Amino acid sequence: MADIEKSWLTNPRRRNALVRLAGLMAASPIASAMAVGDPRPLREHRRALSLGEMQTSFDFEPVFFGNVLLPVYDYTAHGDGSEFTLQRNRQAFNWVNILPGRAAVPVSQVDLSSEFLGVAMKFPIMVAPTAAMVPLHPDGEVGMFKAATAASNTPMILSINTSTPVAKVAPAAPGGTLWGQFYPIENRATTQRSMDTYQNSGCNGIIVTVDQQASYYERTQQDRNFGGRVRAIGFGAGGGAEAPTGAARYRINGGRLWYTWQYIDDMRKMVKGKLVIKGILDPEDAKLAIEHGADAIIVSNHGGRSMDYGPSTLEVLPEIATAVNGRIPILFDSGVRRGADIFKALALGANAVMIGRTTRWGLGAFGVSGAQRLIEILQQELVQAAAAAGCAKLSDIKRVMVKANFLANNFTSRNVRFLCKADIRPTWTDRLGPWKDWGCSRAGRALTTLLPTACLNFFRCFTSARRSKCCCRMPRQYTGVRSAHMSSDIPSRPGSHGLSIGSCRS
């Protein structure tokens, strides 16, 4: 080796150059992407859990995510618009405390059996209607119906947007209870044909959904438009379709926003069995539903998929239960993930609860056995909650068993998720201590009002800037990481998982 080469090996400039090169490589987004490998790893787990290891509904979601195509997952996970309502559905459960009013009872003594519109149920739980299950698992709706029937004969509601004809689903699980869901169609003859198809297949209950009016899944649209070329105006893949006109330019579906009570009256004449109206969020609408012949109502906002910036279903449930006053049964859905959630809904006035997104997780993760186990987990969680609260039977679950701390004007942010029952806190002027008198002055009020908002806006801008520096796909997908300081039940905007610090119907 020449002297000049030896000199270079020990030269401080060489070391500085190598350090700078290493720093440059470390800061490179390419190197960062290579280091990550899978942009959506299960960081806390070295392997996926088996079916027998599933303990909560949340355990199924990452397996479900890994099994299905991204558009299929997005359809299940996403909500309308900014997803304020999707998040609020989950947050509302954190604003309700279960109050053990008596000594706990043994689990073996808990019997939550009941009858709902003539259907005997061991647990007050039903499978909600969700569309297109075959993309989740080849067994599709047939598998879900088998799973529901095997899980203590849990009734199932089949979506009008089923990927398997009702004539094939109904006979798949002998002895099971299958109802049909329907979206209003202005043409009464078409409506009659749909009713006949359901009823001739053995569906004795018809659910008419009135809550999904004009939905726009913002995150789904963003996913479709990441990278690539600018698309044509038309909806077709080649841009050959006609461009939307009129209200359709602003995402308003022309097939909806026309529903009337006269239509319900006409449907009542077509339905031979039970007619249930799904999507009631107002006490006055609940009263009108009774007047127009509904046998039951479902308090639902379509799992946060129907109207952005609407109330959570749990918040409006007590008022609706008071207005109904026991004249007809009340079903409840949207946001249910735990047996304790079901207990809270029952205590606030529901007669039974429907689960939707979670059952899709189970079916997509492990097929029929997965959906069955998920339903059974929620059933047993409900039994545990009832036993701990001292409720031996369903009639013991009353409003006095819970304390609701609903806040009239909660702020829900995509990045800041700190409002829960523990956040009923003193005002800012109460925190000023000896400066309280000054805080009550005009200048003090202005400062104490604007300062928190300014800090919050700064934090939101800061987090948005940090996200923009990362790979655009990474923050939007499941990471499998639970946040120690956030509730694992509250879905964040990037993936609406409830498990992720980065990110379901009913």
* Tokens 């806390």, located at residue: 44
CA distances from 497 to 152, 169, 390 (A): 28, 30, 32
DSSP 114-143: EEETTEEESSSEEEPP-S--TTT-TTHHHH
Per the residue annotation, which of 78, 137, 302, 497 is the catalytic one? 302
CB-count burial class (<10 Å; 0-12, 13-18, 19+) for 490: buried
In 217-341, at which residue ranges do the beta strands (DSSP E only) sit?
274-280, 296-299, 330-332
405 vs 424: CA distance, rounded Å: 8
Buried b / exposed e over 321-353, threshold 16 CB at 10 Å, is bebbeeebbbbbbbbbbbbbbbbbbbbbbbbbb
CA distances from 203 to 10, 175, 194, 196 (A): 84, 12, 11, 10
226 vs 119: CA distance, rounded Å: 48
Q: Are 195 and 179 in contact (CB under 8 A)?
A: no
CB-count burial class (<10 Å; 0-12, 13-18, 19+) for 219: buried
Catalytic annotation present for 292: no
Q: Are 158 and 134 in contact (CB under 8 A)?
A: no
33 vs 464: CA distance, rounded Å: 20
Residues annotated as catalytic (active site), given as ranges: 302
